[in-house]
Amino acid sequence: MIEVTAPVTPAGFLPLLVAWPGLDTRSGPLLTPALLALAAACVAVAIAGKFGAC
């Protein structure tokens, strides 16, 4: 029985272990105007860098 379930167990539980912390994250404290402006600036720089490199 162990030989049959051993390969299935990591494939079944690994996505659960990765997804659980993401589902438990509270994003409310991160939604401040200063952090949103910083995130928008980072995205703008990334987009400009992508087009500037071409």
Considering the chain, what is the average pLDDT of its residues?
A: 81
How far is the C-alpha of 43 from the C-alpha of 3, rounded, in Å? 48
- Dihedral sign, CA of 37, 39, 42, 48? negative
Specify the higher pLDDT residue, 19 or 7.
19
pTM for this prediction: 0.50
Q: Is 35 helix (H, G, I), strand (E, B) or coil?
A: helix
The structural domain count of the chain equals: 1
What average pLDDT score do residues 13-41 get? 83
Domain that holds residue 38: 2-53
> Which band of pLDDT confidence, cut at 50, 70 and 90, is reported for residue 15?
confident
CA 45 to the chain's CA centroid: 20
